[in-house]
A and B are shown apart, each in its own frame.
Chain A
Amino acid sequence: MSTDILHEVTQGDYKYGFTTDIETDIIPIGLSEDVVRLISAKKNEPEWMLEFRLKAYRHWLTMKMPEWAHLDIPKIDYQSIAYYAAPRKNAPQSLDEVDPELLKTFEKLGIPLHERMALSGIAVDAVMDSVSVKTTFKESLSELGIIFCSFSEAVEHHPDLVQKYMSSVVPYTDNFFATLNCAVFSDGSFVYIPKGVRCPMELSTYFRINAMNTGQFERTLIIADEDSYVSYLEGCTAPMRDENQLHAAIVEIVAMKNAQVKYSTVQNWYPGDKNGKGGIYNFVTKRGICKGENSKISWTQVETGSAITWKYPSCILLGDNSSAEFYSVAVTNHHQQADTGTKMLHIGKNTSSHILSKGISAGFGQNSYRGLVKINPAAENSRNFSQCDSLLLGDKCGAHTFPYMEVNNDTSIVEHEATTSKINEDQIFYCNQRGISTEDAVGLIVNGYAKEVLNQLPMEFAVEAQKLLQITLEGSVG
Chain B
Amino acid sequence: MEQQYIDLYKQQHESIKKHSAAVMNDSRDDAFALFEALRFPTVALENYKYTDLKEPLSIDYGLNINRIPIPVNPYEVFQCDVPGIHSYLYFVVNDAFYPVNEPRNKALPKGVIIGSLKEVATTHPELVKNYFGKLSTTKNDGLIAFNGAFAQDGFFMYVPKNVVLDKPVQLVNIMRSDVDFMANSHNLIILEEGAKAQLLVCDHTVDEVHFLSNRVTEVFAGEDATYEHYKLENTHTKTTNLSTLLIDQHPSSNVLANVITLHNGVTRNTIEIDLDGEHCETLLCGMVIGDKNQQVDNFTSIIHNKPNCNSRELFKYVLDGMAKGGFTGKLYVAKDAQKTSAFQTNRNILLNKTAKMRTKPQLEIYADDVKCSHGATIGQLDETAKFYMQSRGIPESEARLLLMFAFTNDVIENIRIPALQDRIKLLVEKRLRGELSKCEGCVICQ
Contact = CB atoms under 8 A, between A and B. Distances in A.
Q: Do A and B bind each other?
A: yes
Interface of A: 68, 70, 377, 390, 392-422
Contact of A390 (B46, B362, B365): B365
B377 interface: yes
Contact of B370 (A392, A403, A405, A408): A392
A414 B379 CA distance: 6
A406 B358 contact: yes
Given A398-B365, A410-B351, A421 B370 contact: yes
A407 B378 contact: yes
Interface in B359-384: 359-380
A70 B352 CA distance: 35
B353 to A, nearest CB: 5
B356 A408 contact: yes
B373 A418 contact: yes
B124 interface: no
B370 A416 contact: no
B362 A422 contact: no
B335 interface: yes
Given A406-B357, A407-B356, A420 B376 contact: no
Given A407-B378, A415-B376, A420-B371, 12 more contacts: A390-B365, A392-B367, A392-B368, A394-B368, A395-B335, A398-B364, A398-B366, A400-B364, A404-B358, A404-B360, A407-B348, A414-B377
A397 B353 contact: no
B363 A400 contact: yes
Contacts of B352: 410
A401 to B, nearest CB: 4
B360 A418 contact: no
20 contacts: A70-B364, A377-B354, A390-B363, A395-B367, A397-B366, A399-B363, A401-B361, A402-B362, A405-B357, A406-B356, A406-B357, A407-B357, A409-B353, A412-B378, A413-B378, A418-B361, A420-B363, A420-B365, A421-B372, A422-B369
A407 B350 contact: yes
Contacts of B364: 70, 398, 400
B360 A401 contact: no
Contacts of A419: 372-373
Contacts of A395: 335, 338, 367-369
A395 B374 CA distance: 21
A418 B374 contact: yes
A252 B348 CA distance: 34
B212 interface: no
Nearest to B352: A410
Interface string B320-340: 000000000000000100100
Contacts of B283: none
Given A411-B353, A420-B370, A422-B370, A405 B376 contact: yes
B368 A393 contact: yes
Of the listed residues A396, A407, A410, A421, the one surrounded by the most CB atoms of chain B closer than 10 A to its CB is A410
B355 interface: yes
Given A411-B380, A413-B378, A418 B363 contact: yes
Binding site of A, secondary structure by majority: helix, strand, loop or mixed? strand
Contact of B353 (A398, A402, A410, A421): A410
B384 to A, nearest CB: 13
Contacts of B373: 417-420
Interface residues of B, number: 35
Interface of B: 46, 335, 338, 348, 350-380
B358 A405 contact: yes
A417 B372 contact: no
A171 B290 CA distance: 38
Contacts of A68: 46
Contact of B361 (A394, A399, A403): A403
3 shortest interchain CB distances as A-B pairs: A413-B379, A392-B368, A407-B378
Contacts of B358: 404-407
A412 B348 CA distance: 12
B353 A416 contact: no
Contacts of A420: 363, 365, 370-373
Contacts of B357: 405-407
Contacts of A408: 356
B350 to A, nearest CB: 4
A414 B368 contact: no
Nearest to B326: A406
Nearest to B380: A410
A403 B376 contact: yes
Contact of A405 (B360, B369, B371): B360
Nearest to B320: A410
Nearest to A378: B353
Contacts of B46: 68
Contacts of A411: 353, 380
Contacts of A396: 335
Contacts of A412: 378-379
Contacts of A406: 356-359
A405 B378 CA distance: 8
Contacts of B360: 402-405
B362 A392 contact: no
A70 B46 CA distance: 13
B50 to A, nearest CB: 9
Nearest to B366: A398
Contact of A401 (B350, B363, B369, B379): B363
A404 B357 CA distance: 11
B368 A405 contact: no
Contact of B362 (A398, A401, A410, A421): A401
Contact of B350 (A70, A398, A402, A410): A410
Contacts of B369: 395, 422
A397 B368 contact: yes
B350 A409 contact: yes
A418 B360 CA distance: 12
A225 to B, nearest CB: 34
A416 B356 contact: no
Nearest to B372: A420
Contacts of A409: 350, 353
Contacts of B368: 392-395, 397, 422
Contacts of B350: 407, 409-410
Contacts of B372: 419-421
A166 B374 CA distance: 39
B388 to A, nearest CB: 19
A405 B376 CA distance: 9
Nearest to A398: B366
